[in-house]
Amino acid sequence: MPKILIIEDDAAFGQMLEKFLAKREYIVQVCFNALDAKMNFKEGSFDLVLTDLRLPNYDGIQLLSELKQMSPKVPVIVMTGYAEVGTAVKAMKKGAYDYISKPFTPDEILMVIEGSLNQKKEAEPADRSTRKASAPISVSKPSMITGISEASKKLQEYIKLVAPTNMSILITGESGTGKEVAARAIHDSSKRKDFNFVAVDCGAIPKELATSAFFGHIKGSFTGALDDKIGHFEAANQGTLFLDEVGNLSYENQIQLLRALQERKIKRVGSTKEISVDVRIITATNEDLLDAVEKGTFREDLYHRLNEFSIEIPSLEDRLEDLFLYADYFLDIANDSLDRNVEGFSDKVMEIFREYHWPGNLRELQNVIKRAVLLTPGEVVEIGSLPREVSQASERKDPIENFSKSDFEKERILKALKKTNFNKSKAAKLLQVTRKTLYNKINHYKLDL
């Protein structure tokens, strides 16, 4: 079993991460300061280091350099705060394998860990064209629920229709609707299902690192490139490459992506050798790419290349007939992950679920249910286990008939910001969304803060 060293000064977060990874059969040791970390790293034989860059009384970049000097082959993943792109770039130049921004989801950290461990043990094959790449891939497979609503039936029909083809697909929809789940369902129903499904969050890749992330690099091509590294295109060879939030790519990166899609060939950073790749592209966005094209921030030729077929994922509000199918599914997942045995929901909770707007869609529903399962002492989820913004939503109904979902969401964001004295990190936590999503919503609604 792989052995992981976690360096994290937040004891509660470190222990939570340790427990989560231990359940997935990793051997984990946690250190809460740099000195203990260096001593344990020197004495132990670790396969991976996961470290926060903000440590008390110690420079995280210096610690990274010292660890790489002690054992250059052990991959180091750095955890950074939101918008610390400059620090992340510096860490990559000092030899970090990858970085991940807090807060991150379990799927995200597992994907990065799995990718780094696969990269470490990967041997260069003689015939690159026939091998199945082992690189950063999503290790959990969320299921696609077959809904009973008309919107869900139409979605399933589209997936069934387009999956067997090689068409590039653009998936649109609100945040939290399950765009990656739909993309994986397409992959699993395609002729490429026996090869890798590689999911990439384009919003999390700084433009300075995007070329290496997509196409890989060779040893010595830049400071910190201690080994050859394959990129996402090679990892997805003969499989599917899913680019989430593709609209966040810089204009320069868009040009590189377009060229790779047109030529079906790539070059690793620092190499002159062209590598042929056979990749199906599925992209997703919760923004209006056509609007971005009109504004000149997204290339029109790339848009048409990516949008050979489009699928819009309906919001949860548009498929309320499926609400309790998803609720039961998320209840089973929560019971399994938390080792609980909650059997269902009270009539009052079911009524609240039906009346609530669900601005965060399926992601919010899953988070609400997981929290409720954790807080439920008996066999049935009661109102007391629900977050206040859900349980009290019906009491705050606006008498205005035309009070739209966007108005409701805007009101929730403003209330959360006021409650946290406009601390966006705390507000995002209160709203159960990432800071990136909160910033996007603030910009979308043009909130004057």
Q: For position 348, what pLDDT does the model report?
A: 93
Domain definitions of the chain by residue range: 3-120, 129-312, 324-444
Residue 431 tokens, joined: 């709203």
CA–CA gap between residue 427 and residue 433 (Å, rounded): 9
- Residue 143 is predicted with a pLDDT of 54
324-444 belongs to CATH 1.10.8.60: yes
CATH number assigned to the domain covering 3-120: 3.40.50.2300
**d(C-alpha 432, C-alpha 338), whole Å:** 18
Check residue 138 and give its pLDDT: 35
User: Of 76, 77, 79, which Cα lies nearest the Cα of 102?
Assistant: 79
CATH topology (fold) of 129-312: Rossmann fold (3.40.50)
Write the DSSP string, 111-134.
HHHHHHHHHHH----S-TTTSPP-
- Token pair of 33 as six digits: 């300061």
Low pLDDT (below 70) residues in the chain: 81-86, 103, 119-143, 223-225, 394-406, 432, 449
DSSP run (H or E) holding 200: strand 197-201
DSSP state, 58? E
Alpha-carbon gap, residue 201 to 281, rounded angstroms = 14
d(CA 161, CA 156): 8
Which tokens go with 203?
A: 């919003």
Per DSSP, 294 falls in state H
Angstrom CA distances, 14 to 29, 30, 32, 33, stand at: 10, 7, 8, 11
CB atoms inside a 10 Å sphere around CB 422: 12
Q: What is the pLDDT of residue 419?
A: 77
Separation CA 58–CA 357 (nearest Å) = 46
Residue 392: predicted pLDDT: 83
Whole-number pLDDT of residue 129:
33
Token pair belonging to 154: 């139409």
Q: Do the domains spanning 3-120 and 129-312 agree at the CATH topology level?
A: yes
CB within 8 Å of 407: residues ≥ 6 apart: 398
pTM of the predicted structure, to 2 decimals: 0.61
Residue with structure tokens 């869609």? Answer: 361
